[in-house]
Structure 1
Amino acid sequence: MDVANYQTALIVGAGEGVSASLARLFAREGLRVALAARRIEKLSALCSETGARAFACNAADADEVERLFGSVEREIAAPDLVVYNASARARGAFVDLVPADVAQAIAVSAFGGFLVAQQAVRRMLPGRHGAILFTGASASVKGYPQSAPFAMGKFALRGLAQSMARELSPLGIHVAHFVIDGSIRSAARAEAADRPDSMLDPDAIALSYWNVLQQPRSAWSWELELRPWVEKF
């Protein structure tokens, strides 16, 4: 079976939670890891723990994204595994939403995914090898009240992933979208004692990402839904 071997991972929208769990897992598996975020000072502890390198980038800015990939390529290597984990929200009653806030939320959640993926694909196509993973949410498939901008962004990101998968899978690039349908456990937010495992464990999410990356190309997934065992859907 032909299973891809990845060397360099770039996680965009890095922080605590899923992206931190992914960084730890990738480092344990021997990958070189680059982390990108608007504010990289928050990544110092994770970099020390994993040996990752941090790069400042606004994912919704085309020039910054292009510079990010150039920097990662010069200082580490061209990434053959890219995870887009950035998103933004603008909450409120529909009639009260501020257009500029909505535009920003969509820019980060969806347009940034396009910008990052385009730079990644340009580097992956010559070798017909690579993987691009997008982190979605319940809002990728369900629009909730007073959350229209988040739904708009996540629906768009899912559409981007589906279109890319159909175009790029035959060219050797594995594109996958993950619907994270439920609350994610963190140091600041844990499930009640009488509801064990009722929240998603970020390490378990990371393992699912890794399992998709290990799929033989004769049986690739383009989308995976993840939710706690008690979550309604």
Structure 2
Amino acid sequence: MGRQARQLTKGFTACLTGKQERGTDRKVRRHSIDVDDRRARVSRPIGDGTTAGALSWIDCLLKAVSEWDDEERARGGARPLGLHGLRVLEAILGRRGKVAIDFRSGRLDPQLVTIARAAKVTKTTVVRALARLKAMKVLDWIRRTERTGNDGSFGPLRRQVSNSYFFTPEALPARVAQRLRDLLARRRLRRSGTMPPGSRKAFAQPSSPELRDLLDRMEAGIARASEGVNASPPYGQYPLSGVEG
């Protein structure tokens, strides 16, 4: 009772003197930025921003990171990411549903509990996996806050909201970044016959349309077999404009 009385007295005093107690917004994380601040606008288009280009980019990023994880293990070291980390990456890329990602703008701001539900892991596992992904230069994020609207009344002035995530392929280790570019080049070559900048020179394509088609089908089959459960779902798990699948 004594503590409650002191809190009430403190609140009334704050109202009378105009000095508002900040309350629970003292728990706002350090280095957080207001959602309307220009510095919080970190979203980048996924791939080229189109549905086809984004889905291709997502597949290639997952493959490059998965291969990197396997290579480190094959060398006798610890996996830098591990199974749960890969599941978290799949989830945040929309591969497991629940997480909305806008391909055109790159807006990606799911709550940790949403990522955990999508990946079927605990929130603590998500936090640890995100820390590893950040250390690996796969992605990064900005912590954000927003005003509560309690100005002029007793109560917290700001509250923490979900992070805004963005991918950083340009910061990957050189060999991993090159592998990603090569995978994207092969996808683009199959679709349009052109190579994106920065990719290694592609192998010569046969002049026969039948042989080209055969090679494309063989490569697609190999990719599906190697990706296994990572194969792209037919629809609904890559929602646009904030609509959940």
TM-score (norm 2): 0.25
Please say which structure displays the higher CA radius of gyration. Answer: 2
Report which of the two has the higher share of strand.
Answer: 1
The higher-RCO structure (CA 8 Å, 6+ apart) is 2
TM-score (norm 1): 0.26
